[in-house]
Each structure stands twice: as C-alpha cells, then as structure tokens.
C-alpha cells in the first residue's frame, strides 16, 4: 500500500531533479510526466510517486508513495505536474559493450539540454548505434534532457568518456569513417559519404576543438543560403543523420 513520503524522501527527489552531484552519487534520476513514465522499463524503476488524484484515476498501477495533489507540486520539477514521478536507476554503457553498427554520433561539449535531448531522440529515429559524449556535454539525466528525449533516453546507448579522442580512435578502429561538422569543411552536397559513418558535432558556440577535428577523416559542412552563418546543433545533427537514408 502506498505511503506518504517523509520530508527526507521529498528532499532526496528534489536533489535528483536539481543537482547533478546527487544523480552521480546515487546512480538515480527522476522522471516526471505521464507520457515519459510509460516509456520507463519497469525493471529500472526504484520508486513511484503519485498525487492522490492521479492514483485514483489509475487504479492498479504501481505506487510506492502518494501525496496530496497540492503537495505533489513541491516534489515535481515542472510548473504544471501531471501527478506521477518515478525515481529510476541509471544505465551505464561502454563502447565495447555496444554491438558494432553503421552510424555513430559523437558530441563535444553540447551544453544545451534541449539540444542534447533532441539529438538523442533523433538518433533513435535514425537508427544510430550509439551516442558518444565528452564530459563537457550536458547531463543526460537532468530533467530537461530526459523530457526532451521523449523516452529515447531509455533505448539509445550513450557513452560518456573522459577521453573523447580515444573514443574516436576506437570508433575508427571498427572501420567507421569519421566526419567532423565544421564551417571550414567540404559541402555535403558535393561528396558521397561512406555507408558506415560517424559524425562529430561540436559545441553550440565554439564548434569542434582543433584537437578533435584533427581526428576526423574528413571535415564537412552543411550548405546554407542567405545570410545564415550556422545551424542549431540539434538541427545539424538531424540533417547529417538522415543523409542518404
């Protein structure tokens, strides 16, 4: 039977919503909202919190802790919570455990949560093998990123690495051609890309560092008309993922 969470439990959930350090320490994260809650693999759920109203309208569903509707707002991360929040165990991936495939996305210091979440979601739609990120990227388990993935965070293998260069070299060792997206590159309209490929997408403001770009087999760019100087990182990633598909 569901119990009312104490002050300590509420503080723990709020810490998971607000602090990357709490997520790293516990290996847990918070997932809020009815639609994305339905995407969570049941075996990964640590605990489920519901408002009284939500629990009444969803009889028979798992509920570990129940709060008055007005109190649920204190627990939630959104302004207009739907009444359900789950504490979920994080996934840990390493590149060696991911079955080799033909499309990898390599991210260097993508810091906007919306961009990262959208890239993860697009990666699933495009059939990407894995998303590889350096530690400068946003925390994939932050509430904003999780919501932006629309559930793809539970299905797309992603790897955080302390050495992005080494990860790129490992991917190249699988016979994957690595393309770096930069304004100085060759237009994608004039080249044929290898079928097994990886794309490096750089920071929203600074792009790919010279050190990382040197590891790419080829530097490419998306042609743009008018006076546009650059595209949003998530938009660029989506265009590249769907080339020749």
> 1 in a domain, yes or no?
no
> 192 in a domain, yes or no?
yes
Do residues 60 and 53 make contact, with C-beta atoms less than 8 angstroms apart?
Answer: no
CATH number where 171 lies: 3.40.1280.10
Specify whether 145 is located in the same domain as 38.
Answer: no
Specify whether 150 is located in the same domain as 64.
Answer: no
The predicted structure's pLDDT at residue 207: 95
The predicted structure's pLDDT at residue 229: 81
Query: What is the tens place of the pLDDT at every residue in 115-169?
Result: 999 999 999 999 999 999 999 999 999 999 999 999 999 999 999 999 999 999 9
Specify whether 73 is located in the same domain as 136.
Answer: no
Which residues of the chain fall short of a pLDDT of 50?
Answer: none
CA dist., res. 157 & res. 154, Å (int)? 8
CA dist., res. 85 & res. 175, Å (int)? 42
Do residues 80 and 50 make contact, with C-beta atoms less than 8 angstroms apart?
Answer: no
The predicted structure's pLDDT at residue 36: 96
| SS3 track for 189-204 | HHCCCCCCEEEEECEC
The predicted structure's pLDDT at residue 245: 53
Specify whether 75 is located in the same domain as 134.
Answer: no
Kindly give the pairing relationship between strand 45-51 and strand 84-89.
Answer: antiparallel
CATH number where 67 lies: 3.30.1330.30
Helices 233-241 and 113-125 cross at an angle (nearest 10°) of 10
The predicted structure's pLDDT at residue 139: 98
Kindly give the pairing relationship between strand 28-32 and strand 130-134.
Answer: unpaired
Specify whether 168 is located in the same domain as 63.
Answer: no
137-141 long-range CB contacts below 8 Å, 24 or more apart?
137/107, 137/108, 137/109, 137/110, 137/111, 138/110, 138/111, 138/112, 138/113, 139/20, 139/23, 140/116, 141/20, 141/23, 141/29, 141/90
Phi, psi of 122 (to 5 degrees): -65, -35
Query: What are the strands of the beta sheet with 45-51, ordered from one edge?
Result: 28-32, 84-89, 45-51, 65-67
| Token duo for residue 103 | 């499309």
Specify whether 109 is located in the same domain as 196.
Answer: yes
| Block residue for tokens 């739907």 | 82
Do residues 5 and 65 make contact, with C-beta atoms less than 8 angstroms apart?
Answer: yes
Last residue of a domain, one of 58, 89, 120: 89
The predicted structure's pLDDT at residue 230: 84
Domain that holds residue 46: 7-89
| Token duo for residue 79 | 């302004």
Specify whether 72 is located in the same domain as 146.
Answer: no
């Amino acid at each position: 039977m569901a119990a009312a969470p104490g002050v300590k439990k509420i503080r723990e959930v709020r810490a998971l919503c607000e602090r990357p350090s709490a997520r790293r320490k516990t290996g847990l994260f918070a997932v809020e909202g009815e639609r994305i809650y339905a995407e969570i693999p049941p075996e990964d759920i640590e605990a489920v919190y519901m408002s009284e109203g939500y629990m009444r309208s969803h009889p028979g569903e798992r509920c570990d802790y129940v709060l008055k509707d007005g109190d649920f707002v204190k627990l939630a991360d959104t302004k207009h919570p739907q009444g359900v929040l789950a504490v979920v165990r994080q996934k840990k991936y390493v590149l060696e455990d991911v079955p080799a495939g033909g499309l990898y996305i390599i991210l260097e210091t993508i810091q906007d949560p919306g961009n990262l979440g959208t890239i993860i979601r697009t990666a699933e739609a495009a059939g990407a093998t894995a998303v590889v990120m350096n530690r400068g990227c946003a925390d994939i388990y932050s509430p904003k990123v999780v919501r932006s993935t629309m559930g793809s965070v539970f299905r797309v293998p992603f790897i955080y690495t302390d050495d992005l260069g080494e990860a790129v070299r490992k991917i190249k060792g699988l016979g994957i051609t690595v393309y770096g997206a930069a304004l100085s590159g060759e237009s994608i309209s004039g080249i044929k890309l290898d079928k097994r490929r990886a794309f490096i997408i750089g920071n929203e403001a600074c792009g790919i560092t010279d050190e990382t770009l040197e590891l790419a087999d080829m530097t490419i760019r998306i042609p743009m008309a008018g006076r546009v100087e650059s595209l949003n990182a998530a938009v660029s990633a989506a265009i590249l993922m769907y080339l020749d598909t």
